[in-house]
Chain A
Amino acid sequence: MSSDNWKPSASISTLKQRADLFGRIRQYFDEQNVMEVDTPMLSASATVDLHIDSFVTTFLPIGGGKEQSCYLHTSPEFPMKRLLAAGSGDIYSLGRVFRNGEAGGRHNPEFTMLEYYRVGMNQHQLMDDMSELLSSVADFKELARVSYGHLFQEYFGINPHLASDEELARLVREKVDSSLDGLERNDCLDLLFSNEIEPGLGKSDSKQLNGVYVYDYPASMAALARLHTNEGGEQVAARFELFINGVELANGYHELTNAQEQHSRFQAEQDKRRELGRPVYPYDQRLVEGLKSGMPDCAGVAMGLDRLLMLMLDKKKIADVIAFDFSRA
């Protein structure tokens, strides 16, 4: 069958704008004295995040010997933190990451992530820095900063940090789909957020990109962020996300530096994967060692650059901004 599938899924002029964007990002970090690093894409350990699956492959030594399972990285977070622990100072990485099973619409199993860390910053200082970065590479304006708790209060009249699991499940059935059940607490929070709140965040009538930062996520969604106490006295995660025109664009943390806590979070996440019958990958013990030796206080963020370009060029599908999407790769 003859077809056009040899052709790129993005236009050449889009690819030119893509190259320009990457150039401007590198220029910003260059001016800020943030060092570019490239870390292993293929690693003996993987993320153990409950809802992120890795591509698994096998290293076969030529001439025989012990085979070794390897994982394509889903973000450069662990080795970058090991660099920070080794004294790298501010660093950024701009490159491909891989997520198994995620395809369609705004998702491609491999995509381009900008991840960077600033030493001595907390989540709010990093938001300031991100806004500066985005303003230097795009027509970006920070519209608002609002806490996760405030949004849930405004949209649903509940406190997401105190609401019971039953209350959240009931809200999901009422607002999202009456037949959804058997959901975990975080699934309920995500569904309510992504169905009811997210589509309205950072709307814009013009070509300008309006950004809304959502900060202080529930403690149950801390991932690799440290916990702190908010002004209401609740324990929350020092985690934030950036939304532009209803699209999730970036996820950042005031980073957890406590080795012991990191170790137990890895184990707890592995346990959850085991419980739900999902593949259980080895976590990065070397990161725990690095934290033990001491990682500086810092904040870090990961941003999807394909999505940033989609927003800048008003494209609806990720395939429109990458040279060859998964169906043509």
Chain B
Amino acid sequence: MASYSTNEFRSGLKVMLEGDPCVIIENEFVKPGKGQAFNRVKFRNLMSNRVWERTFKSGESIEAADVMDYDMEYLYTDGEFWHFMMTDGSFEQHAASKDAVGDTIDWLKEQEVYSVTLYNGSPLSVSAPNFVELQVVETDPGLKGDTAQGGSKPAKLSTGATVKVPLFITEGEVLKIDTRTGEYVGRVK
């Protein structure tokens, strides 16, 4: 496996640290005028999401992590695993665990494309596109003519997620949702 020297450190770089894949968040070059150079580095552990700081002598190297992001289409879940397929024409399938899917479970829709991070060939995490379009399966009846008022009500989507929507939204409508905030953006015609 390749390794990276401190002079190649930059944010976004994925490395192995204490046996876990980590991503560099911040890298600071520290050198007293007359002293040895060091790198003060902030990492996020990709398994636990824990953030911590380490100090390395400049010139030290650490092992690269076999971590890559791929575009994959979501196929289905068998209850234990969520199955995805590469969009590069290889039809290669990968099964993501509940931990790997994480909060993205709220935005999973069949045939939609997600970014799946593979670590040593298996899914480590799944991230949703910034916007997804999902159908309302359950909400209180719409109030006619109430488009101007700022009120909102909860609506349950096909994925099981609940979002706040304007009062005029009715069951069966398809909504555009911002997955980063979990907020309603608009209706899809």
Chain A contacts for B32, CB-based, 8 A: 190, 193-194, 248
Please, which residue of chain B has its CB at the minimum distance from the CB of A186?
B35
A interface bracket (residues with beta carbon within 8 Å of B): 20 to 34
Q: Could you tell me if A105 and B35 are in contact, using CB atoms closer than 8 angstroms? A: no
Instruction: For the complex formed, measure the closest distance between the CB of B61 and the CB atoms of chain A, giving whole angstroms.
Output: 14
Residue from A102, A179, A187, A195 within 8 A of B36 (CB atoms): A187
For A190, give its contact among B28, B35, B40, B56 (CB under 8 Å): B35
For residue A107, CB closer than 8 A to chain B, the reply is yes
Could you tell me if B34 and A104 are in contact, using CB atoms closer than 8 angstroms? no
- Asked if A190 and B57 make an inter-chain contact with CB atoms under 8 angstroms apart, the answer reads no
Contacts of A104 in B (CB 8 A): 28-29
Collect the chain A residues with CB atoms within 8 Å of residue B36's CB: 51, 183-184, 186-187, 190
Report the Cα distance A187→B36, complex, angstroms.
Answer: 6
Residues of B whose CB lies within 8 Å of any CB of A are 28-38, 40, 54-57
Contact count A vs B, C-beta below 8 Å: 53
| A103 at the B interface (CB under 8 A) | yes
A176 and B34 form a contact (CB under 8 A): no
Query: In the complex, which residues of chain A have a beta carbon less than 8 angstroms from the beta carbon of B57?
Result: 180, 183, 187
Q: How far is the CA of A251 from the CA of B32 in the complex (A)?
A: 10
List residues of A (162-218) whose CB comes within 8 Å of B's CBs.
Answer: 176-177, 179-180, 183-184, 186-187, 190-191, 193-195
The residues of A that contact B28 with a CB separation of less than 8 Å are: 104-105
User: Interface majority SS on B: helix, strand, loop or mixed?
Assistant: strand
CA distance A103 to B34 in the complex (A): 15
* A223 to B35 CA separation, bound complex (whole angstroms): 11
Shortest C-beta distance, B39 to chain A (Å), equals 9
Collect the chain A residues with CB atoms within 8 Å of residue B54's CB. 177, 179
- A193 / chain B contacts, CB cutoff of 8 Å: 32
User: Is A49 engaged at the interface, CB distance under 8 Å to the other chain?
Assistant: yes
Contact B29 A191 (CB under 8 A): no
Instruction: State which residues 100-136 of A face B: CB under 8 Å.
Output: 101-105, 107
Closest to B7 in A: A101
Interface pair B33/A251, CB less than 8 Å apart: yes
- Taking each of A52, A103, A190, A193, which has the highest tally of chain B beta carbons within 10 Å of its own beta carbon? A190
* Distance of A174 from chain B, by nearest CB (Å): 13
A78 to chain B, nearest CB (A): 16
CB nearest neighbor in A for B54: A177
**Residues 206-259 of A contacting B (Cβ, < 8 Å):** 221, 223, 241, 248, 251
Q: B116 → chain A, closest Cβ, in Å?
A: 30
Least CB separation from A102: chain B residue: B31
Among B28, B30, B32, B36, the most chain A Cβ lie within 10 Å of the Cβ of B32
Q: Are A180 and B34 in contact (CB under 8 A)?
A: no
Known: A102-B31, A105-B29, A177-B54. A191 touches B37 (CB 8 A): no
Q: Let me know if B35 and A251 touch, CB within 8 A.
A: no
Complex: how many Å from CA A177 to CA B53? 9
Tell me the smallest distance from the CB of A191 to a CB of chain B, in Å. 7
Q: Is the CB of A51 within 8 A of B37?
A: yes
Docked Cα-Cα span, A70 to B34, in Å, equals 22
- A246-279 interface with B by 8 A CB criterion: 248, 251
Query: Which A-chain residue is minimally distant from B57 (CB atoms)?
Result: A180
Docked CA distance A180–B33 (Å) = 21
User: Which residues of the partner chain A approach B55 to less than 8 Å between Cβ atoms?
Assistant: 176-177, 180, 191, 195
A–B complex contacts, Cβ < 8 Å, 20 sampled: A49-B34, A51-B36, A101-B37, A102-B29, A102-B37, A104-B29, A107-B31, A177-B54, A177-B56, A180-B55, A183-B36, A183-B57, A184-B36, A187-B57, A190-B35, A194-B30, A194-B32, A221-B34, A241-B33, A251-B34
